[in-house]
Amino acid sequence: MSTLLETINDPKDLAGLSVEQLTQLAEEMRELITHSVSQTGGHLASNLGVVETTIAMHRVFDFTKDRLLWDVGHQCYAHKILTGRRKQFSQLRQENGLSGFPNPDESQYDVFSVGHAGTSIPTALGLALGAQHKKSDEKIVALVGDASIVNGLSFEALNNLGLAKRQLLIILNDNSMAIDVTQGSIAKFLSKVRLSHTYEDIRDTTNRILEHLPLVGKRMEEAVENFKRTLRMANTPSRLFESLNIPYFGPVDGHDIGSLIELFTALLHLDTPAVLHVYTRKGKGYDPADDNPCKYHSTGPFEVNGTSEKAAATKRSFTAAFGDAIVELGEKDDRVIAITAAMPDGTGLVKFRERFPDRYYDVGIAESVAIDIAAGLAKQGLRPVVCIYSTFLQRGFDQIFQEVALQNLPVTFCVDRAGAVGNDGPTHHGLYDLGYCRMLPNFTVAAPADENELKDALALAAKGDKPFVIRYPKDTVPVIAKNVIPYELGKSARIRHGKSEFAIVTIGPILKEAMDAAQMLEAEGISITVINARFAKPVDPAIIELFAQGKTVLLAEDSSIACGFGSAVIEQALQIANESNTQSLHNSIGKAVLLGGPDLFVPAAARNRQLDWMQISAKQIAETVKKLKYQAKTTDKSI
């Protein structure tokens, strides 16, 4: 059966459709999204929630010249489907397929490549100021969720919105739900407002907006006042925006396409920034997601007709291992307090939250403040553990520097998603934490290779009285024979003693790849040494000893080579070489090989493909060693 959706290959194709047809289209799109995400994995609930808003936006605005900014961007699926990418939608989040986030390389309809929260209003403001400067008249629209608008970056932009003396529409997509329940006073305030009125009130609000929107020449302040005065509901979030001097309209029903089209059409002509507040339901139209939007925020493949997840992970993730380890630690040490920035599930804190509700804080999508709260807790003699993904921890770099490193406080950072993250792609890789953390005085930076080391690192961090980073990837925990070498601060572990000149030193679970490479090489008669560095900072002098022994040292890390672990080893090797004036050191350092992320953004693909691409998979490591051995031979001959 042919569907309406099949006739939509471009937003222009929406023009002829009636509101009834657009409503039917919304249902078809919801089905496509649910079915497709069940195959590819991805964000489900949030995408189901914004289908009508997306259709209405594309019907009213012309985003070949107007600009649409998505916040975080995980809710852009309907947008992708409408803008000529319907057929590729089945390849969402696959290698060479569509990105799970907006991506200008894919389509002129995507303005920024995003994945972090709070950027839509500030970049929209920049675009508006640019248009002001160029005197161009494109309309600019930022769609931001209630969880992102409370991010400090959004707030800084709202406070500066007055710089724009032209149209700039902010659509506040309020589903009362971040990834988990939205945290903080503003979220509480919004949900109180939401509970204070009926559906009829909402319908009425739409009419009042349409009635009072300023005509040409009518003053905005007057329009907003009139609108407010005639509203049926006593309680609206207008005062939240009044102190910021931003005209506020709403709340309105975000699932009523007809009304949305009328509202957008009316708001199109404003010559000042304004906020339109729309209510949506996360997971709308797919029952399991509607009932459990938290579970279906971001999902792997699942079965559509039933609530069970397809291919339940049989292997244990680092996240799960951490989740158990911190509960265990919490039992032993009541100074341990866990803090997350809207990611209790993603960072593995759900069990801890259940077990120790009074020792758990979720600050919403606000990484910076999570770190400062931890600094305050540490000052009080407690042992805060900050759980944030590597890429999002970038938001707190300055807090890590000033409030933690400079004060030398015992804050532990449990950095999940460190390294290549697979299909989420460049916005989500955690390739820089080794660099931005090891730069700072007083820091210890650890990367456990397996679950035992993760537990050991966590215990060590809590026992100490200094800043401590523990990083691990979005991956399963490798099963490595229990290492008998005790886990000590700054000490590496020799896993394998090889007879050849080659030694490989790894940080984190790349150890497993190196061990597998060693086996492959053994089969070809090359016996290599394998060292598990355990710490990127401090660097164990035993690693430097390899150079003194004349080894060709390969340094492998799931991280950017620039500023990474390998670089840390070389910096220290040079320092020791100069202090000790050891000739063998001088001679060997220059043979070192740095393996890791190059000076490029790692494309979305399966994680194992990415390790290959970064030359840190077992196969690539083995290849590199063989190449070096062959080179060494030819060099020998030529001398």
367 is a catalytic site residue: yes
Q: Which is nearer to a copy of itself, 89 or 397 (CB)?
A: 397
Kindly write out the interface string for residues 421-460 of this chain, putting x where it contacts a copy of itself by CB under 8 A and - elsewhere.
-----xx----x--xx-xxxx-------------------
Closest separation between CB of residue 401 and a copy of itself, Å? 6
607 is a catalytic site residue: no
| Nearest-angstrom CA–CA distance, 87 and 109 | 16
User: Using the rule CB under 8 A, is 161 a contact of a copy of itself?
Assistant: yes
CA-closest candidate to residue 58, choices 29, 31, 93:
29
- How many CB atoms are closer than 10 A to CB 331? 11
Q: Which is nearer to a copy of itself, 211 or 334 (CB)?
A: 334
User: Using the rule CB under 8 A, is 237 a contact of a copy of itself?
Assistant: yes
395 is a catalytic site residue: yes
CA-closest candidate to residue 76, choices 60, 59, 100:
100
User: Using the rule CB under 8 A, is 375 a contact of a copy of itself?
Assistant: yes
Nearest 5°: phi and psi at 586?
-50, -40
Per DSSP, what are the bridge partners of residue 505? 531, 555
Which of 104, 108, 200, 524 is in the footprint of a copy of itself by CB under 8 A? Answer: 104
From the list 138, 262, 367, 513, the catalytic residue is: 367
User: Using the rule CB under 8 A, is 366 a contact of a copy of itself?
Assistant: yes
User: Using the rule CB under 8 A, is 16 a contact of a copy of itself?
Assistant: no
The stretch among 35-43, 196-204, 402-410, 507-515 that binds a copy of itself (CB under 8 A) is 402-410
From the list 93, 208, 282, 284, the catalytic residue is: 282
DSSP state of 335: T
User: Using the rule CB under 8 A, is 613 a contact of a copy of itself?
Assistant: no
Alpha helices in 299-450 (DSSP H): 318-332, 350-355, 367-379, 390-393, 397-399, 433-438
Closest separation between CB of residue 79 and a copy of itself, Å? 18
CA-closest candidate to residue 258, choices 443, 530, 17:
17
- How many CB atoms are closer than 10 A to CB 366? 25
User: Using the rule CB under 8 A, is 191 a contact of a copy of itself?
Assistant: no
Closest separation between CB of residue 340 and a copy of itself, Å? 12
Alpha helices in 113-198 (DSSP H): 120-134, 152-159, 185-195
Which of 76, 270, 342, 377 is in the footprint of a copy of itself by CB under 8 A? Answer: 377
Query: Scanning residues 527 to 586, which ones bind a copy of itself (CB under 8 A)?
Result: 547, 560-563, 566-568, 570-571, 573-575, 577-578, 581, 583, 585-586
CA distances from 400 to 9, 346, 379, 603, 622 (A): 47, 21, 14, 28, 37
User: Using the rule CB under 8 A, is 374 a contact of a copy of itself?
Assistant: yes
Cα atoms found within 13 Å of the Cα of residue 535, Cβ hemisphere only: 23
What are the tokens at 167? Answer: 């149209």
User: Using the rule CB under 8 A, is 259 a contact of a copy of itself?
Assistant: no
- How many CB atoms are closer than 10 A to CB 497? 11
The stretch among 248-256, 345-353, 609-617, 631-639 that binds a copy of itself (CB under 8 A) is 631-639
Query: Scanning residues 116 to 135, which ones bind a copy of itself (CB under 8 A)?
Result: 116, 119, 122-131, 133-134
- Which of helix, strand or coil describes residue 558? strand
User: Using the rule CB under 8 A, is 410 a contact of a copy of itself?
Assistant: no
| Nearest-angstrom CA–CA distance, 612 and 162 | 49
Closest separation between CB of residue 133 and a copy of itself, Å? 6
User: Using the rule CB under 8 A, is 38 a contact of a copy of itself?
Assistant: no
Task: Enumerate the active-site residues.
Answer: 282, 367, 395
